[in-house]
Chain A
Amino acid sequence: MKVYRHGRQLICKLDHYFRDFRCSAQLGTLKYEFDQPPVPSMVVADLSPVEWADPLPLLALAALLRQMSNSGTEIRIDFGHFSPNPEHLILLKFMANQGFVDLLGKMPKSRLLFRDKEDPRSREYQLHELRYRFGSFHQDTHYQNADCILAKLLPVQELRTGTKVLQTVVEELVREGDRRAITPTFGSEPISRDRLLQKLRRLLLELIDNAAEHAYDYQNEGFVGIYARIRGARPVESSLAERWDALVRQERRECPTLSDSSPIRRRSGSRSLCATRAGVCYTTSGNGGHPPIILS
């Protein structure tokens, strides 16, 4: 990731791989540079080189850009080009299908570029157009049938207004996960479905509540990023299985602490093997410092 100034613009050019470890080690540079005077008039997030992005870094980037956008800075998202390398197109398709294009595009002052062009029509139209274009690329995303909870940023100021708001938000998220993934996958297994819903509800309640209470100064606004997907088991067909193995190996290299025990476990009595992976992230605000560990 390269972060540099070009006049009043602050440019953040991402690498080929925007994955958990790399992002966690350097995303703060963008915030640091943004906080240096003079305040940039525009922040450009250049996604054109990216071939793979993990959900947590995308959520963290979106949360940071949203804060910058809310402070009055214009945000430009450059989605790149039709690349001969299909990986970039697969990434764009993934981002469109899983809500990340909307997340980046729906900021108060954001401009969206694809092939160096910006559609002059309304932003709603631009977003619709990009979702449609990216979503219709013929390349398949690497993990199929992953829909669960699309990427979202929740404003903590709203969550702090009362327990009822938190519970309403969580129930909506759980309903979305149930509708998109849990009932289609576990509908015929009420025991598994109930258990999954209960766990999803518990973890969303506790983690979002933690973030609302501890992540940001009370006078500052901030966002909690949420995303969940279904990860299927290793395919039976050999070529797909090889590809799946390669992706898992790569994930273990790039995403810290994924031990051997973390992939989907084969259990006695299991028929279809699926797990829900939920990601929650929040940045911190205020004087630029942040607590070493945020606890309830």
Chain B
Amino acid sequence: MPVGTRTLCKLISRLLFQKPLSRHDRERSLRTTVTGLQYLGRVLGIDRDFARIYTNHEWAGSTHPWDPKSTSNFRTSRDSRKFTGKRPAPGTFYAISIQPERSPVQYPENDWIIASDSARGKIIAALAEPPLQEYPAQIAFYDRRRQGDASAVPEEWVTGPPPEDDSQTPVVILRPPRSVTKRDFGAWLQAVAGLPSAPARRAAGAFIIAELTPFQAMTYSDFFQRVRLNAQHTLQLFLVAEDWAVCCLSRDTTKPYRLAPNLAMAQSFLDGADHTLGCTAALLARILRRADSRIFWLDKAGQPKLSDVFVHGRISWSETNERPRDFPGSIDGYLDLTQALVDPDCYRACRRALRRCLALFPALEPLTTDVLVESLIRRCRPRTVPAWRRATPVKESGGGRLRVRHVQHGASLPYPS
């Protein structure tokens, strides 16, 4: 084999995971400008994970960020006399070693705003209001959490005629499933903002991707900052983590086809200061609560599903039971939560709601009143330790305790019938 070819293979191996090498013309197709390996390289780079790849005689390997410059990280069997007359294995092998860091995800200060006490107070106040009966008219909420598939962009965004008045749905909220491919996000971006190859049929003013784990949130933020959009786009993209950290990406002033962090807008979203946005963190909290309440009480066809485990009528609470001191002697209706949580959808809805709630009271240590709630709490511990919490350890702050009970009043769960 000519030496030049060998050098070329080595050169290409250096670009793997780093550059958008692709067989497809990504500028002209409905694909994002970020390739799968490039995206994977960024994810593996967070914890400096190791990857190696084989194809056609050659192996290349490196810890991430990928940089197999050292000769020990590239090996070929082409010139080996030992294998003269043999043919190399066809295809491609990947071997990846991943090791998670024990330390919490650190949100980069240049991209993320972590909810302050005052912002969290506004969300708590909003949740004390009566439950939403309908989603506000300016908001289109798409919940894909239960479907395991975010790819289906609603028909009205893809093929429907552009609305006469675009202000009808300026805000699109997506709650994605845990598995989202970048192709799924590509389809959504094409619909709400337009890709270089195709402008959007109808543009959204804001696109909010809600309830992400901190690790998801950070990797998505990195991904969206690398995607090229249609240069005419006016999108404001919000990534909202389940611990209420927010990243806003909006049109880059120097490169209009890119998205760049907009900290002021993220702060406005959390504080609810800018009413032109159409949605605030407080409203999002109420929307998510409504979505989870529906999942908890109704089946996929919209019919009540917990009739067997909800006791209607006035229920007396026996004095002999270990009941909290401030709890009334009788309640209107009783939900057997142990039975209700047998349904996996109910369990997950409950866990999500609890996780969002705990994130609003970071200085309080959860104090559970029974074993069932204890098991839920164990799965809901905060996954990040934001800077303000690291600075003031819970025990020293004297912050007190948050009592979590499993008996709930009907008012917070609006579908008891």
Contact = CB atoms under 8 A, between A and B. Distances in A.
Contact of B99 (A20, A31, A276, A282): A276
B273 to A, nearest CB: 32
Contacts of B88: 24-28
A163 B50 contact: no
A163 B55 contact: no
B77 A24 contact: yes
A54 to B, nearest CB: 9
Given A32-B87, A210-B37, A279-B93, A198 B213 contact: yes
B92 A294 contact: yes
Contacts of B72: 257, 259
Contacts of B93: 20, 24, 56, 59-60, 279-281
Contacts of A164: 148-149, 151
A288 B178 CA distance: 38
A62 B216 CA distance: 34
A221 interface: no
B219 A202 contact: yes
B86 A29 contact: yes
Contacts of B16: 293, 295
Contacts, number: 250
A296 B92 CA distance: 13
B155 to A, nearest CB: 17
A24 B54 contact: yes
Chain A binding site: helix, strand, loop or mixed by DSSP?
helix
B63 A262 contact: yes
B59 A21 contact: yes
Given A26-B83, A164-B149, A296 B37 contact: yes
Contact of A199 (B43, B60, B61): B43
Given A56-B95, A166-B181, A257 B68 contact: yes
Interface stretch (A69-77, A115-123, A186-194): A186-194
B89 A23 contact: yes
Given A171-B148, A203-B44, A210 B36 contact: yes
B405 interface: no
B102 A271 contact: yes
Contacts of B184: 163
A25 B22 CA distance: 26
Nearest to B50: A262
B102 A24 contact: no
A109 interface: no
Nearest to B178: A201
B101 A28 contact: no
Nearest to A213: B36
B12 A24 contact: no
A209 B181 contact: yes
Contact of A295 (B21, B48, B90, B99): B21
6 contacts: A21-B59, A28-B90, A190-B381, A191-B104, A199-B47, A281-B92
Interface of B: 9, 12-13, 16, 21-23, 35-37, 39-40, 43-44, 47-50, 52, 54-57, 59-63, 68, 70, 72-75, 77, 80, 82-83, 86-105, 148-149, 151, 177-179, 181-184, 213, 215-216, 219, 379, 381, 383-384
Shortest Cβ-Cβ A-B pairs, 5 listed? A257-B61, A28-B87, A25-B77, A296-B36, A283-B91
Given A167-B177, A203-B96, A282-B92, 19 more contacts: A27-B90, A29-B87, A56-B93, A60-B89, A186-B100, A198-B213, A202-B40, A207-B94, A257-B52, A257-B68, A259-B63, A259-B73, A275-B97, A279-B94, A281-B93, A281-B94, A284-B91, A290-B56, A293-B56
